[in-house]
A = this chain, B = another copy of it.
Amino acid sequence: MDNDEDRDAPAAPNGVSLGPLPGFIGYALRRAQLVIFDDFIRTLETVDLRPAYFSTLIIIDENPGLNQSEVSAALGVQRTNFVTMVDHLEKRNLIERRPSKKDRRSYALHLTEEGRTLLDKARQLQAEHEARFARKLGPNGREQLLPLLWKLVE
């Protein structure tokens, strides 16, 4: 009885055996995530947006007026670490903190016009990146992969 579950895993360099690692979900996930993040970062280099910052702009664009706690919770980032990200995006004039009318402790986050323009450009680059990996996955590969990944998160 042969164990062929990792038949398609790339071989390690120099004939080093990876043993059971390529058959482990976590190991495969991590290697795939590193490859795709590396491509994402280089693809969006011209707009200088790393994955977390891109996601932040998407969320704010989809839900204008949310406060920092709400956006950071949606992203799975702690609000304490989110402050630096908002500072950075605001310094680049991509988003703005507007004083909330309802609650004077919080800010309503909105994209600036410059932010919307940059996000449009970023979306185009991201689409190229996405298509590149969808092609790697073959016909229906992406449609099979996504539900499996979300089952892991549930």
Contact = CB atoms under 8 A, between A and B. Distances in A.
A74 B14 CA distance: 8
Given A16-B63, A126-B24, A147-B8, A35 B133 contact: no
A74 B18 contact: yes
Copies in the complex: 2
A152 B130 contact: no
A47 to B, nearest CB: 15
A17 B24 CA distance: 32
Contact of A25 (B66, B74, B134): B134
Contacts of A76: 31, 34
A99 interface: no
A62 B19 contact: yes
Contacts of A18: 58-59, 62, 74
Which 7 A-B pairs have CB atoms at the shortest separation, nearest pair first? A19-B62, A28-B149, A32-B152, A16-B74, A12-B74, A32-B149, A17-B62
5 contacts: A16-B63, A18-B74, A21-B55, A26-B40, A26-B51
Interface of A: 5-10, 12-14, 16-37, 40, 51, 55, 58-59, 61-63, 66, 70-71, 73-74, 76, 126, 129-130, 133-134, 136-138, 141-154
